[in-house]
Amino acid sequence: MESVIAGIKENNLKLTLAFGIGLHHAGLHERDRKVVEELFVNQKIQVFIVNLISVDNVCAVSCQLLCL
């Protein structure tokens, strides 16, 4: 996880990922959003916090997880 966190641009996201908490919002860099989505799908984070603007994309990711 340390190597994943090192590649994250958003400082707050770096801090929360270290505790298994992912943040997902429209203000994140696209790469950071993709990393958090991938961590969620692969069950590498325990908590996934999303704002309403990001819900459509996260719903698609959630459906992928539920279908696994």
pLDDT digits (tens, 9 = 90+) for 2-47: 899 999 999 999 999 999 999 888 888 999 999 998 998 898 998 8
Please state the domain count of the chain.
1
Which residues constitute the domain of residue 6?
2-67
pLDDT at 67 over 60: no
End-to-end Cα distance, the chain: 22
Distance CA(17)–CA(57), nearest Å, equals 20
Residue 59: per-residue pLDDT: 54
DSSP-H helix ranges across the chain: 2-6, 11-17, 30-41, 55-67
The whole-model pTM stands at 0.71
